[in-house]
């Protein structure tokens, strides 16, 4: 038996039973792991570092220590101990969690109920839940903040060198570093677990939502989404054509040629030459920020053209040109999903960011035509209808809003009827549009000033709208006031699933900062609950597809929307799974509604 075989055999044997009884006060039955790779998709594997309470060892691939052998040993160890590691999602290329291997079918139906993932512990996710205001966490941050231990970072040790270069030149130092990271994961486990339990975020938020989600996101990233290179080029050409038309029109109207992308030159044209209102001086010239231009656009078609020009040039650089670099050899884009970035709990995506695909203009939405399913498949797309308003109805307990939803009528028309005191059938389109703005604005703690800007009405009129809204739905006003008061007292807001969002701005000496904090206190419980429900929906849909033995796969999540690459013969079943599982993801006082469509491209399916 080799030293490696002996190490793993001893580690598995000596603590097989201990994993069943580990507590927050101890790391008995826990193993810290760190996989040393190049960090890219389809990672190059260099070494595995394993830390147990008894010993730390680092195993380098090569000779008898093949990648297959180390994977086998990792899975055996994971079956007997709890695996604690930083960013576990990146380790799933090398082992499959026990919950997936041994109880996938059970986990499917119970994933957000009694079943919990306690054989895997992601220290990054845990640290994020405890402080979601940081932009990012590193293992060294966790060592410093939770273990009061200073550990030099990779950059401090090796500068900007790639792992492959360091592995070739400073192997011993690199392996020592990997070992240190596995020890941090081991030692941080009991501290982080205890803190999560104290804050009521351990179960179900961590164990039944965030941890299984790491596996789902890993699978989605590996699947990716097909992006047609030729279609992307055609889209870019169409944008270029329209950009040139706008450029010519803008120069003609200005009676001179200038750099439209230069804020200084544009400001001089708008406010010195054309004498437009709302001029706002800065240190470098006139402000041509979006809020200034949007004020001018309704009155001046020239400014409307500039806004369109800006939007299209951004579309071209970000998507038409930018996306091409991310299409891999399999013709797919494999975006990276991050679950430790946003303060509210929402997922984000990067490299590239597919969650910012434009939706406001038809030309912006057309980028979705580039994304298509593989041969023999269609896209099935489902999204929640007014999820945040439904959550507001539930959390506020407002009788009128709950009844409005239960009646199943147009919620914005009902609100307009009640707020403006006109019969439901006589509500005008303008009144409905204004009521819609108030409905969604209230969720974000909108002020009379903000609403007046959105609707281009006087601040007094906007204030009257909000006052009438609260008179119509008094439970909402009471709920929002209580949310702010609770956040001021506790220092954080909380979702239905106990996710906390610290709000330090509430204690700021700056009035504007305190106002911002109050708006966050109103919105964070609602937006955070929506994020939690979407994550639960992802889990339910993903594992249900597996349970039903379907070949269709979930490949994308964007805000309140899920996209499935659906095998043609499974269309009806996939639609049923999406509707059932999304609508059953939370029991609210008003029904969650998911709307489902399919098509030959993402554009058609949305």
In this prediction, residue 109 carries a pLDDT of 45
Average pLDDT, the chain: 90
Supply 482's token pair: 């209580």
- Number of Cβ within 10 Å of residue 338's Cβ equals 18
- Write the CA distances from 386 to 391, 450, 470, 501, 590, integer angstroms: 9, 21, 19, 22, 11
Q: Write down the architecture of domain 362-387+533-605 according to CATH.
A: 2-Layer Sandwich (3.30)
Topology annotation, domain 3-223? Nucleotidyltransferase; domain 5 (3.30.420)
Rounded CA separation 35/60 (Å): 10
pLDDT (tens digit, 9 = 90+) per residue, 325-369?
999 999 999 999 999 999 999 999 999 999 888 777 788 889 999
Supply 230's token pair: 């030729």
In this prediction, residue 183 carries a pLDDT of 97
Look up tokens 């491209």; give the residue. Answer: 601
Q: Is residue 511 very low, low, confident or very high in pLDDT (cuts 50, 70, 90)?
A: very high
β-pair partners for 391: none
Rounded CA separation 559/530 (Å): 9
pLDDT (tens digit, 9 = 90+) per residue, 158-177?
999 999 999 999 999 999 99
Rounded CA separation 501/263 (Å): 37
In this prediction, residue 345 carries a pLDDT of 96
User: Mean pLDDT throughout 103-116?
Assistant: 49
Residue 1 predicted with pLDDT over 70: no
In this prediction, residue 462 carries a pLDDT of 85
User: Mean pLDDT throughout 516-529?
Assistant: 96
In this prediction, residue 66 carries a pLDDT of 85
pLDDT (tens digit, 9 = 90+) per residue, 444-456?
888 888 888 778 7
In this prediction, residue 437 carries a pLDDT of 87
In this prediction, residue 8 carries a pLDDT of 83
* Cβ-count burial 358-392 (b if 16+ within 10 Å, e if not): beeeebbebbbbbbbbeeebbbbbbbbebbbbbbb
In this prediction, residue 25 carries a pLDDT of 47
Residue 186 predicted with pLDDT over 90: yes
User: Mean pLDDT throughout 231-254?
Assistant: 94
Rounded CA separation 434/416 (Å): 8
pLDDT (tens digit, 9 = 90+) per residue, 403-415?
989 887 789 998 8
User: Mean pLDDT throughout 518-533?
Assistant: 96
Rounded CA separation 538/146 (Å): 31
Query: Which residues have a Cβ under 8 Å from the Cβ of 286 and sit 6 or more positions away?
Result: 263, 264, 267, 268, 270, 271, 279, 280
User: Angle at the Cα of 191 (from 186 to 197), degrees rounded to 5?
Assistant: 125
In this prediction, residue 108 carries a pLDDT of 44
In the chain, DSSP finds a helix count (H) and a strand count (E) of: 24, 18
User: Mean pLDDT throughout 90-105?
Assistant: 78
Residue 374 predicted with pLDDT over 80: yes
Pair type for strands 348-350 and 377-384 = unpaired
Supply 302's token pair: 């020239």
| Residue-range domain boundaries for the chain | 3-223, 229-330, 362-387+533-605, 388-530
Within 13 Å, how many C-alpha atoms sit on residue 221's CB side?
Answer: 24
User: Mean pLDDT throughout 243-272?
Assistant: 94
Residue 104 predicted with pLDDT over 90: no
In this prediction, residue 333 carries a pLDDT of 97
User: Mean pLDDT throughout 397-404?
Assistant: 93
Residue 584 predicted with pLDDT over 80: yes
Q: Which CATH code of 3.40.50.970, 1.10.579.10, 1.20.1060.10, 3.40.50.920 fits the domain covering 229-330? A: 1.20.1060.10
Q: pLDDT above 70 covers what percent of the chain?
A: 95
In this prediction, residue 117 carries a pLDDT of 82
Residue 107 predicted with pLDDT over 60: no
pLDDT (tens digit, 9 = 90+) per residue, 33-84?
999 998 888 788 899 999 999 899 999 988 778 888 888 888 888 888 899 9
β-pair partners for 34: 49
| DSSP, residue by residue, 482-551 | HHHHHHHHHSEEE-TT--EEE-GGGG-SSHHHHHHHHHHHHHHHHHHHHHHHHHHHHHHHHHHHHHTT--
User: Mean pLDDT throughout 167-193?
Assistant: 96
In this prediction, residue 14 carries a pLDDT of 61
In this prediction, residue 13 carries a pLDDT of 72
β-pair partners for 225: 333
Rounded CA separation 406/387 (Å): 14
Please give the backbone phi and psi of residue 423, each rounded to the nearest 5 degrees, phi first.
-60, 145
In this prediction, residue 171 carries a pLDDT of 94
In this prediction, residue 74 carries a pLDDT of 86
Name the nearest CA neighbour of 434 among 485, 468, 406, 409.
468
pLDDT (tens digit, 9 = 90+) per residue, 4-21?
788 888 887 765 444 444
Please give the backbone phi and psi of residue 553, each rounded to the nearest 5 degrees, phi first.
-135, 140
Q: Is residue 442 very low, low, confident or very high in pLDDT (cuts 50, 70, 90)?
A: confident
Residue 402 predicted with pLDDT over 80: yes
User: Mean pLDDT throughout 175-183?
Assistant: 96
Q: Which CATH code of 1.10.150.20, 1.20.200.10, 3.40.50.300, 1.20.950.20 fits the domain covering 388-530? A: 1.10.150.20
């Amino acid at each position: 038996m080799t030293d490696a075989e002996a190490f793993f055999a001893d580690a598995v044997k000596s603590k097989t039973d201990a994993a069943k009884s580990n507590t927050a006060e101890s790391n008995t039955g826990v193993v810290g792991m760190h996989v040393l790779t190049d960090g890219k998709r389809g990672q190059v594997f260099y070494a595995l570092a394993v830390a147990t309470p008894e010993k730390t060892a680092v195993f380098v691939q090569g000779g008898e220590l093949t990648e297959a052998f180390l994977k086998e040993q990792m899975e055996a160890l994971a079956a007997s101990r709890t695996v604690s590691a930083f960013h576990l999602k990146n380790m799933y290329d090398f082992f499959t969690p026990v919950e997936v291997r041994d109880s996938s079918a059970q986990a499917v139906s119970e994933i957000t109920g009694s079943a919990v993932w306690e054989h895997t512990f992601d220290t990054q996710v845990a640290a994020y839940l405890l402080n979601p205001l940081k932009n990012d966490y590193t293992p060294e941050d966790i060592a410093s903040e939770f273990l009061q231990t200073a550990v030099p970072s990779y950059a401090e040790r090796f500068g900007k060198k790639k792992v492959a270069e360091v592995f070739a030149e400073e192997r011993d130092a690199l392996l020592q570093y990997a070992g240190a990271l596995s020890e941090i994961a081991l030692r941080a486990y009991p501290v982080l677990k205890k803190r999560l339990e104290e804050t009521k975020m351990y179960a179900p938020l961590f164990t039944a939502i965030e941890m299984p989600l790491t596996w789902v996101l890993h699978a989605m990233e590996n699947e990716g989404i097909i992006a047609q290179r030729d279609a992307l080029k055609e889209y870019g050409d169409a944008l270029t054509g329209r950009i040139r038309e706008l450029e010519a029109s803008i120069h003609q109207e200005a009676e001179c040629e200038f750099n439209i992308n230069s804020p200084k030159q544009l400001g001089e044209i708008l406010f010195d030459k054309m004498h437009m209102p709302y001029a706002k001086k800065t240190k470098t010239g006139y402000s041509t920020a979006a809020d200034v231009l949007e004020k001018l656009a309704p009155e001046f078609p020239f400014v409307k053209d500039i806004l369109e020009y800006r939007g299209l040039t951004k579309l071209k650089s970000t998507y038409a040109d930018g996306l091409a670099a991310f299409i891999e050899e399999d013709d797919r884009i494999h975006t990276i999903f991050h679950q430790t970035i946003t303060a509210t709990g929402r997922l984000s995506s990067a490299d590239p960011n597919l969650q910012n695909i434009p939706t406001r203009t038809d030309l912006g939405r057309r980028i979705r035509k580039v994304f298509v399913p593989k041969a023999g498949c269609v896209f099935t797309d489902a999204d929640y209808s007014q999820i945040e308003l439904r959550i507001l109805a539930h959390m506020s307990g407002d009788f009128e809003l709950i009844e409005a939803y239960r009646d199943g009528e147009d919620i914005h028309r009902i609100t307009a009827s009640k707020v403006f005191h006109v019969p439901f059938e006589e509500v005008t389109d303008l009144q409905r549009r204004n009521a819609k703005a108030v409905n969604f604005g209230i969720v974000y703690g909108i002020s009379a000033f903000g609403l007046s800007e959105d609707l281009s009405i006087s601040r007094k009129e906007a204030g009257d709208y909000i006052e009438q809204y609260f008179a119509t739905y008094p439970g909402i006003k009471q709920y929002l006031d209580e949310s702010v008061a609770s956040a001021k007292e506790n220092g954080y807001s909380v979702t239905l699933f106990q996710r906390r969002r610290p709000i330090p701005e509430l204690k700021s000496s700056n009035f504007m900062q305190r106002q911002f904090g109050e708006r966050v206190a109103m919105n964070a419980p609602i937006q955070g609950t929506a994020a939690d429900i979407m994550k639960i929906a992802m889990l339910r849909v993903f594992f249900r597809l597996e349970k039903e033995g379907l070949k269709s796969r979930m490949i994308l999540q964007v805000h309140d929307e899920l996209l499935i690459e659906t095998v043609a013969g499974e269309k009806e079943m996939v639609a049923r799974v999406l509707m059932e599982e999304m609508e059953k993801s939370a029991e609210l006082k008003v029904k969650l509604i998911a709307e489902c469509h399919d098509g030959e491209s993402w554009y058609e399916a949305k």
